[in-house]
Amino acid sequence: MRHLISMKHMSNVAIYQLFHKAEQIQKGQYRKLDKQMFAANLFLEPSTRTKNSFIVAERKLGLEVLDFTEQGSSLLKGESLYDTARTFESIGADVIVLRQEQEGVLAHLTEKLQIPIINAGDGSGEHPTQCLLDLYTIFQEFHSFKGLKVVIAGDIRHSRVARSNAHALRQLGADVAFVSPEAWRDDTISENYISVDEAVEFADVMMLLRIQRERHSDKDTTQEYLQSYGLTVERERKMKEHAIVLHPAPVNRGVEIADELVEAPRSRIFKQMENGVTIRMAILSTLLEGEIRNENSDQKYQNA
């Protein structure tokens, strides 16, 4: 694997190998890169968690960080995204982390560039690093995905997180259901939609999604959302004792989830953020050191 663009390109073995590396990293059993290397972070959409967790991950590994923003760049002069990426490759970048709003352009870049490219979010397409940290958080809790009941709730149509997670969770053996207002459903992802009240009793994992206001033509989309589709205190009380709550953040408190539940005992929202650094360290070191394979995973994970 030379790039990380889509969860559709990740085998179960490759996913579990990343988990194994992440576990080693959390135990402090990793080494910094033994030569000077550069990571180019090209973030053309706003980001707090993804961008800064990549920066922390890169610096922990010993990478030099090339921090790029569109403002003040030659993109504003008409330069193409390919030429910008090719420029970073030419001046010595060893890996590109790219977040941008257009779907389908990353495949073109991977055909043209020789250095690894990591998809840090492409519009409403996919968000594989967020997916992998979500999966790792679930795996830490349950140690298996087979038969696990997962609900993805919220703005399904516009969510790259939903698209990546839906594919990967089903591939790993989870039973995945969805909650969404009808206008935000996407039948290309799934037709298995249930009510939020059914979902809270069904779920081992309740994965809430942010309302993607910036992708809506109608910006007034939050009125009464919590009562109709969100996780209220009353609904949380009906969840299984062992069930956990995830959210990729940023969280709209009081919209997707009641404010007091964001840091409640069953919430793993800030654990996801912590795992974001670890998983991104695992991804970067794997791509730069060429360690990922798609066969013969460690025996520990064979039956997970």
Q: Which residues are annotated as a binding site for carbamoyl phosphate?
A: 49-50, 99, 127, 130, 249-250
| C-alpha distance across the termini of the chain, in Å | 22
Query: Residue holding tokens 């839906």?
Result: 166
How many Å apart are CA 267 and CA 137, to the nearest integer? 11
Closest CA to 166 of 188, 198, 199: 188
How many Å apart are CA 275 and CA 23, to the nearest integer? 10
By three-state DSSP, how is residue 39 classified? strand
How many Å apart are CA 114 and CA 38, to the nearest integer? 14
Phi and psi (nearest 5°) for 64?
A: -80, 135
Residues at the binding site for L-aspartate are 77, 160, 210
By three-state DSSP, how is residue 21 classified? helix
Residues at the binding site are 49-50, 77, 99, 127, 130, 160, 210, 249-250
